[in-house]
Structure 1
């Protein structure tokens, strides 16, 4: 993943990250609130030796004290030191229990011993530290005294700092706990967001497509929640961003140079040549916007004064005729079976240069009809009569119709629904086309989000020069001259 991908993941999973941060802070606050406050008091003891007054004796005494101070620190937690403390302070606990509240440390290269006591009562914490320092001095003096010393210990422990009653608890450290909870929640949230993105197999960006197929991405159609009620957005709302995306797709398709003057071979025999003007519009699965893309692309191409034919080659679930408001009882199936002439079933859409060949009756053998020599001859004839021919074919994964048809046309335009099509599905769809010796001319992304982190890469596909609506001075939507002409063409 690149840096831009991580930024997109963070933008996409910001809500999840915030939830984990709140949970982390909440858990830290709850933990701090349920913990009893602990107070800490410290006393310091200076360790010295009673030696001569010359410099050599003083140096030897200091070295002796430094060597012994670690041992004295270990004596702090022993019953010999703690039992007198328990008796003196009238504590109801054992020396083992008290040792968990007392600790000692000696800074390096010093003869200072710091005794630390903790307790839920601040005054008792200070009393424990002072009493332990006093008891340690007595124990050390008794241990270091020998008969040779004539009951005088060569080591002396002097308390140089008495423990004072602490004013605030040392634990729990609420600011520190909350900061740790925030950092832990942030780390978990980012990790979960990245993991979710890694495990997500749906195609969301053009990078996902580029990792599967080298075919160019020729367009990106923005998502429109009103698409089911107005499938022909190029005619119904020509100044919308979505209509502009179809015109951008039209421009890219005009510059797409694949299969120019290629030979059509069916059953091992050449049956004609294609001039690079016929494209199969297909997808991996249903409900990816294949038929609406075909219809709107046909309308966009027809607006350039070219003669465009849209063929409903989905002989299983034809939709183009209903989208375009045309009669679809007779069409491609009847032409292939020799029951009608082509000119009798091709219909003109309004007064535009768009012509439509409906699917006709649903046959029992769609794949055989689309892969027949008669179909190959029809493809060649249609390319001679029209500038562009678009075939709305069934999805690639359920049936082989589109792959069979791709073999006798210029190439395929595979429709991919952003956030819906899985990578494995697109990979299988591309493989099914290549297995028959055909090529994927380009890939069109549909349902591209207009907002959010997944929308950043597709801004170039639809610029929306004109805005979505023009209002008059009273705030009502004003119908443009182009919209009126589009309605007249449909009529």
Structure 2
């Protein structure tokens, strides 16, 4: 018998496609349903018992001109830049601290800021301020306190700036006074020393007189600026006018029950989807032909569909096109000539996988001389039970030695009892068993359910098997379980040549 190529260890786990993500959600529909229902109920309850909110609004106009209440085009650019600054200042901590004192706010200042909103309508010099609280009087009171606090804080800043300007102006006035004294001294000296009868003398007196007048005008101008600043420091011009005082705007508002319920539903579906994907990625399942072939590097021989509500017996299932095609591939491509030994294993001992394994053997018997199907049973034989149910016979199983317990057309069924129950059979080589039946069989299939946990799977060791086919279930069997089964069979000497996928459908 020629050496078969060995199975290659799994490659990098393939990427998850959209279809697999959708199946993850369908498989964990109950997670989506529970979380979406809980969050929808929470949203509805919150909207039902939430206190109504009252909104108060006021409008300020920014006009940094010399005439309050009038718009000066020269100051429009200045006003637009100042509005952005005022929006930040009006909800700053110094201003909000005054509001907290007025309304008796006991929470954090940063939380109080969320109750206010300041915005500037496009292409206007207006500043709209809104305050929202659960009490109408509190809304109006808080908004008035905010505006007054802003005026007070900004006035203090302006007074500080004016005071700084006054100090600078006083220094300039002192210098101007000294210049006036110097100019007066020069003028007096010119009157005393210059000869007024000559043109040069008169010119010298006139220049000294002009210098004195200029110095005196500068000095008087600075004195006037100081008087103006002294008036401004008592009542600084903020360049802001309240054109609409604080008032309640509209009726009290409540959160919409419908919107809150829908929001809870959408958030729940999103959160449930994330949890479902995380859960399934941690225990990724067999999903598609391309996924298995890319991950294990083993060809998928076919995909068998089993209806959840329309049960087929082994005879009917073996005559379906998909099963017959798989059997033909095993016989033609994997086993080849007669007198060959193959292994059909399942990743789990489930009814669906057992029935497909039996149907494959039955389909092979239609085109072969004879097929011997040997079940290496666990404590509860599954394959013989399937044929027992299909043929309505009670098949007797020996306890100490293998026996042909049923012959169905060209298919001979043999059961090997659990090794734990048979000391005599524990050392019996499989090829001797096959040799004894060559006169009646052209192909022998060794069936092992869940070889990792099967006590008879050690029969594979030391017995040449031409190929091995694994039957597994889509959307149920873990990808890691399939890989572990393939690895174990390879270690035991079985060349894993193909995989059959079983898919359960509604119809």
Q: Tell me the TM-score normalized by structure 1.
A: 0.63
Residue 429 of structure 1 is aligned with which of 468, 478, 485? 485
Partner-residue secondary structure (3-state), 1:40: strand
| Counterpart position of 1:112 | 126
Offset of residue 412 of structure 1: 2.2
Tell me, in whole angstroms, the C-alpha distance in 2 between the residues paired with 1:14 and 1:416: 23
Residue 423 of structure 2 is aligned with which of 346, 349, 364? 364
Offset of residue 71 of structure 1: 6.4
Offset of residue 6 of structure 1: 1.8
Tell me, in whole angstroms, the C-alpha distance in 1 between the residues paired with 2:406 and 2:90: 104
| Uncovered stretches (5+) of structure 2, i.e. residues with no partner | 1-15, 160-227
| Counterpart position of 2:298 | 214
Tell me, in whole angstroms, the C-alpha distance in 2 between the residues paired with 1:216 and 1:82: 72
| Counterpart position of 1:121 | 135
| Counterpart position of 1:168 | 251
Label 1:125 to 1:450 Cα distance change in 2 as closer, same or farther (>3 A).
same
CA contact (8 A) 2:375 2:446 kept: yes
The answer to whether residue 55 in structure 2 is matched with residue 40 in structure 1 is yes
Map 1:392-407 → 2, pairs under 5 A: 392-393=447-448, 395-399=450-454, 401-402=456-457, 404-405=459-460, 407=463
Q: Could you give the per-residue CA deviations for residues 215-273 of structure 1, whole angstroms, max 9, x where no partner exists?
A: 4234525266797xxxx8144xx3xxx4554x532332213344556xxxxxxxxxxxx
CA contact (8 A) 2:56 2:143 kept: yes
CA-based RMSD of the aligned residues comes to 4.9
Partner-residue secondary structure (3-state), 2:296: coil
Offset of residue 313 of structure 1: 4.2
CA contact (8 A) 1:294 1:310 kept: no
Q: Tell me the TM-score normalized by structure 2.
A: 0.62
Tell me, in whole angstroms, the C-alpha distance in 2 between the residues paired with 1:109 and 1:213: 67
| Counterpart position of 2:276 | 193
CA contact (8 A) 1:403 1:433 kept: no
Label 1:192 to 1:244 Cα distance change in 2 as closer, same or farther (>3 A).
farther
| Counterpart position of 2:322 | 248
Map 1:3-402 → 2, pairs under 5 A: 3-49=18-64, 51=66, 59=74, 63=78, 67=82, 70=85, 74=89, 93-94=103-104, 100=112, 103=116, 105=118, 107=120, 111-122=125-136, 125-126=139-140, 129=143, 133=147, 146-149=229-232, 153-155=236-238, 157-169=240-252, 172=255, 177-178=260-261, 180-203=263-286, 205-206=288-289, 209-210=292-293, 211-212=295-296, 214-220=298-304, 222=306, 233-235=313-315, 238=316, 242=317, 244-245=319-320, 248-256=322-330, 257-258=332-333, 260=335, 275=338, 277-287=340-350, 292-302=355-365, 304=366, 306-314=368-376, 317=379, 323-324=387-388, 325=393, 328=396, 333=401, 348-349=407-408, 352-357=409-414, 359=416, 363-371=422-430, 374-375=432-433, 377-378=435-436, 381-382=438-439, 385-393=440-448, 395-399=450-454, 401-402=456-457
Label 1:81 to 1:424 Cα distance change in 2 as closer, same or farther (>3 A).
closer
| Counterpart position of 1:267 | none
Partner-residue secondary structure (3-state), 2:422: coil
Partner-residue secondary structure (3-state), 1:214: coil
Label 1:50 to 1:310 Cα distance change in 2 as closer, same or farther (>3 A).
closer
CA contact (8 A) 2:299 2:497 kept: yes
Partner-residue secondary structure (3-state), 2:485: helix
Normalized per residue, the structure richer in helix is: 2
Larger Rg: 1 or 2? 2
Tell me, in whole angstroms, the C-alpha distance in 2 between the residues paired with 1:3 and 1:223: 25
Label 1:421 to 1:369 Cα distance change in 2 as closer, same or farther (>3 A).
farther
Label 1:332 to 1:415 Cα distance change in 2 as closer, same or farther (>3 A).
farther
| Counterpart position of 2:201 | none
CA contact (8 A) 2:326 2:360 kept: no
